[in-house]
A and B are shown apart, each in its own frame.
Chain A
């Protein structure tokens, strides 16, 4: 017997189609869910997306100076360097006027920027401004602005300053990225390498990567057995041992760093004991600090908990029966470990490795304190330019490259291990 199927819409008791009513209820839930997440979303946008976006913008932005010297720059672009050694009169005139009538503070900010392209701009412009303002006050306008400026300061007859101006005449510029890898522009805006005695960034990048990779490796080698021990001891012992891992973790970074200096220096504890035991003679004390060794030792110890904790939480849930079963089936202990246990710890190793690497690559306080002449990692340079030279464009470019390096590593990691394989416990 056939059951008649109603083709009419299902209605709720108050006569509204069920579909619509459901949708309405659903929409309420959706809005509620969104509202619940909204503060978090807003938080992420404000504290994460916007600053990073702002940083990326700053790394290519050269607007400020272009609003201070618009006429000078547009006249400058007309200068034919082949034909004339120095820029034409119009450029000098535009500069004269823009310095004479420009806002003092805006010019001041532009000076800081100009000095990045060539040292000496700051006092050159300041001295020249003084001369110009004096002339304007007396209403004495020169016949030749070129001669006036060159009389005010003979550096205006030095074409290298004018060549350096070429670096800033556009609103957007890649120059900060070039500077961050020891490159610069020559007089015709061709990219060339920085003068030899100023090349610091490439070697710093290499050093930073090297230190981060080494530290990650040492943390893994040292952290693995500790985590394994912690995961396999009875709880009361492992809790005690855990305190030994966590106590330094909670101790101030500076205290730990200083403690390492006391241990490692040439007149320090370790050298003292070795000399006392007769293993070293007094002239042959090892230098273990104020060099790269010191950096590696101190950073490894400081970052070790970030390796141990994720490893531990992963290892704790690996059933002990797996190893027993493997050995029961005839595997030697080493084979069982290699084939059965180790693969299961990969999520922990990945999480720990990534954490340590990310932290290490941006480290700068500890390396500066224990690293001596080798202690300047890329983080130090970012801090230096952020605070001292105020070259925020270069800071942003260095930061963006750092971000890029991280993304490359992340991508590689995803290709090799797979990102869903990561686990913190």
Chain B
């Protein structure tokens, strides 16, 4: 064997073993992962040790990795429902003690979990395996030019095709819509989860409300779609992920307006996969990514709000926090006055009933 080849082989083994040490984080890709890269990885002690990989949500791949025993992901960026199921099933590792010992407390000495409760969240079993990331929301937005006179401002307006004629963009799964329909039907936003959970017939009520606009809906299934639909005039208003609308307003010079009433706040977590190859390094990164500072930092790059209450004062004190010297708080979903008219989605209830409601919702769409 030539000397060169030997050197090359040794070098490649060295590289392989080196790159195997990197903590692999499965996340959603696009602008969101980019904001994580900048806010969490670039501010970490060793940015090169964090590698992001794209995935499309759900626990399918995680379960396949854990069941087959060849785990390649260390961390997964998960929705709360997946965090709960993953933690219950042991797909994510229970790190309650690590979180209690290693997480950064808030400025008044409150623990990370207390800090989250201060933000209106309730404990669920996902908290045993995961650390908080951001709030994102299903929000209705529109192009003000489409309404020369009165502008829609409430969920009732979104469901009123007489007063505001035109099509509405709605996604093809039930999360977020059911809650909005309840608000349009007169339920106080903060009471929606309780009503859905405890009142029999609440779902029928939501579906009856949806029936009233059924012929005026364009359904979308990927996050970029609602912006295209509204921009092209295909619909006059649409439900969207607020981060997408924020990016269009901040980076592309659009002038969309939101209807904050009835926005549905959902959570996002970073969870440790059971049997992760770089467990300790991954936990260290989790603790870094869940500090109030790191969470506030992420708001510089995307309009998703920190899940720790103590992240918000950091942003407020640092304004203009947004790109190019823009104030970011006006674009954030979880300011105190917006929270008053918002629904905090109940992941445990969705985790119980999601499959059934989604089947019902699909049957409703198809008929």
Chain A residues engaging chain B, CB cutoff 8 angstroms: 104-105, 108-109, 111-112, 115-116, 119-123, 126, 197-200, 203-204, 207, 261, 265-268, 290, 368-369, 372-376, 384-391
CB distance from B177 to the nearest CB of A (A): 13
A121 vs B88: C-alpha distance when bound (angstroms): 13
In the complex, which residues of chain B have a beta carbon less than 8 angstroms from the beta carbon of A116? 355
* Structural contact, B358 and A126, CB atoms closer than 8 A: no
A96 vs B318: C-alpha distance when bound (angstroms): 54
* Structural contact, B90 and A387, CB atoms closer than 8 A: no
A373 vs B363: C-alpha distance when bound (angstroms): 10
- Identify 18 new A-B residue pairs, CB closer than 8 A, beyond the known A122-B351, A265-B232, A376-B365: A104-B90, A105-B89, A109-B90, A111-B88, A112-B88, A112-B89, A119-B355, A121-B352, A123-B349, A197-B207, A372-B219, A372-B220, A373-B172, A373-B366, A375-B172, A386-B58, A388-B59, A390-B85
* Structural contact, A267 and B234, CB atoms closer than 8 A: yes
12 A–B contacts from the bound complex (CB under 8 Å):
A108-B90, A109-B88, A119-B356, A123-B352, A197-B363, A266-B234, A267-B233, A372-B220, A373-B172, A388-B355, A389-B354, A391-B355
Contact among A120, A266, A373 for B217, CB-based, below 8 A: A373
* Structural contact, A198 and B85, CB atoms closer than 8 A: no
Contact among A112, A119, A198, A373 for B365, CB-based, below 8 A: A373
* Structural contact, A390 and B59, CB atoms closer than 8 A: yes
CB distance from B236 to the nearest CB of A (A): 12
* Structural contact, A265 and B219, CB atoms closer than 8 A: no
In the complex, which residues of chain B have a beta carbon less than 8 angstroms from the beta carbon of A384? 358
* Structural contact, B362 and A200, CB atoms closer than 8 A: yes
* Structural contact, B221 and A368, CB atoms closer than 8 A: yes
A387 vs B63: C-alpha distance when bound (angstroms): 9
In the complex, which residues of chain B have a beta carbon less than 8 angstroms from the beta carbon of A387? 56-61
In the complex, which residues of chain A have a beta carbon less than 8 angstroms from the beta carbon of B348? 122-123
A11 vs B89: C-alpha distance when bound (angstroms): 71
Nearest neighbor of B365 in chain A, beta-carbon distance: A373
Name the interface residues of B322-367: CB closer than 8 Å to any CB of A. 348-349, 351-356, 358-360, 362-366
Q: Give the interface size class of chain B.
A: 35 or more
* Structural contact, A368 and B85, CB atoms closer than 8 A: no
Chain B window 207-227, contacts with chain A (Cβ cutoff 8 Å), 1 for yes, 0 for no: 100000000011111100000
Query: Given the known A-B contacts A115-B352, A126-B88, A369-B222, are A390 and B363 also in contact in the complex, defined by CB atoms under 8 Å?
Result: no
In the complex, which residues of chain B have a beta carbon less than 8 angstroms from the beta carbon of A105? 89-90
CB distance from B174 to the nearest CB of A (A): 12
Contact among B58, B220, B364 for A388, CB-based, below 8 A: B58
B190 within 8 A of A: no
CB distance from A292 to the nearest CB of B (A): 11
* Structural contact, A267 and B85, CB atoms closer than 8 A: no
* Structural contact, A197 and B58, CB atoms closer than 8 A: no
Nearest neighbor of A104 in chain B, beta-carbon distance: B90
In the complex, which residues of chain A have a beta carbon less than 8 angstroms from the beta carbon of B234? 265-267
B111 within 8 A of A: no
B125 within 8 A of A: yes
* Structural contact, B90 and A120, CB atoms closer than 8 A: no
CB distance from A260 to the nearest CB of B (A): 13
* Structural contact, A290 and B363, CB atoms closer than 8 A: no
CB distance from B176 to the nearest CB of A (A): 15
In the complex, which residues of chain B have a beta carbon less than 8 angstroms from the beta carbon of A391? 355
A173 vs B203: C-alpha distance when bound (angstroms): 31
A-B pairs with the 5 shortest C-beta distances? A387-B58, A105-B90, A108-B88, A387-B60, A373-B365
Chain B window 85-98, contacts with chain A (Cβ cutoff 8 Å), 1 for yes, 0 for no: 10111100000000
A112 vs B87: C-alpha distance when bound (angstroms): 11
CB distance from B216 to the nearest CB of A (A): 12
CB distance from A176 to the nearest CB of B (A): 13
Nearest neighbor of B224 in chain A, beta-carbon distance: A258
Chain B window 18-44, contacts with chain A (Cβ cutoff 8 Å), 1 for yes, 0 for no: 000000000000000000000000000
* Structural contact, B366 and A376, CB atoms closer than 8 A: yes
In the complex, which residues of chain B have a beta carbon less than 8 angstroms from the beta carbon of A374? 366
A109 vs B59: C-alpha distance when bound (angstroms): 13
Contact among B125, B220, B228 for A126, CB-based, below 8 A: B125
A105 vs B274: C-alpha distance when bound (angstroms): 11
In the complex, which residues of chain A have a beta carbon less than 8 angstroms from the beta carbon of B352? 115, 119-123
* Structural contact, A197 and B89, CB atoms closer than 8 A: no
CB distance from B327 to the nearest CB of A (A): 33
A229 vs B337: C-alpha distance when bound (angstroms): 67
A120 vs B198: C-alpha distance when bound (angstroms): 12
CB distance from B81 to the nearest CB of A (A): 8
CB distance from A269 to the nearest CB of B (A): 11
* Structural contact, A373 and B219, CB atoms closer than 8 A: yes
